[in-house]
Amino acid sequence: MSRQDVLVVLPARHGSTRFPGKVLAKLGGRSVLEWGYRAAKSAGLGRVVIATEDKRVVEAAAVFGAEAILTPKTCASGTDRVFLAARKSREPFVINLQADQPLIKPGTLRRVAKILRANKGADIATAVIPLEDEKRAKNPNVVKAALAAGGRCLYFSRSPIPFPRNGAPAAQWEHLGIYGFTRAALKRFVQLPPSPLEKMESLEQLRALEDGMTIFAATVADVPVAIDTPEDLRRAEKFLSKKGARR
């Protein structure tokens, strides 16, 4: 039997700026939110809850049997929403699985949890996949990661990193929208003000790096489909049609 020491929270803001209501948009007969929830449950890490600011999401979650918590509309980020949802639980590890990652594999969540369990130096764990598509590397909506040996994260950017100044090919990594925290690291993170680099790149993980927190990434084989726009939803539909994917 798997260990049940992880709380998985899916922050699911209905009022998305670029794609309002995206978490309830239909994908392969299910909502984007339900896909992510099913993946989290299949990982078998422990309790899974949805944190949202909108009663419509709570009602939709109830239809497929998910536990949902209503959090304030004033939450500054998804991680703040995760923290509020996790306050009354006791699991030592909390995974923030962004609700717009419908095709993430359960194994990816297990890999993130494994880092937290095994690496006492990790405040935060995340996941990356190899980035070989030049067009995606130049897309600012695709977040890139620079890694040291052993998977320690050096930086995240919307720009292609690292820059191959001497023309030699450099290993590039695409970041997936999942963060695992130790409970202490989660509390520390939400108490920090937004940092200069975070505000510049609009990437909240940079707040942790600027404060000296340590992030490690698992290299996984996953599907890089984050639903940020209607175009992303169409791309996910094409992927499902091509692979005949169902969970």
- Sorted by sequence, the CB contacts under 8 Å of residue 28 that are 6+ apart come out as 35, 237, 240, 245, 246
**Cα separation, 159 vs 205, whole angstroms:** 15
**Cα separation, 93 vs 89, whole angstroms:** 10
Annotated domain spans of the chain: 6-242
Per-residue pLDDT of the chain (247 residues; tens, 9 = 90+): 357 899 999 999 999 888 999 999 999 999 999 999 999 999 999 999 999 999 999 999 999 999 999 999 999 999 999 999 999 999 999 999 999 999 999 999 999 999 999 999 999 999 999 998 989 899 998 999 999 989 999 999 999 999 888 876 777 999 998 999 999 999 999 999 999 999 999 999 999 999 999 999 999 998 778 898 899 999 999 988 887 655 4
Amino acid 175 reads H
Amino acid 229 reads T
CATH of domain 6-242: 3.90.550.10
**226, 98 Cβ separation under 8 angstroms:** yes
Buried-state track 14-48, b at ≥16 Cβ within 10 A, e below 16: bebeebeebbbbebbebbbbbbbbbbbbebebbeb
* pTM of the predicted model as reported, rounded to 2 decimal places: 0.93
Q: How many CB atoms lie within 10 A of CB 163?
A: 8
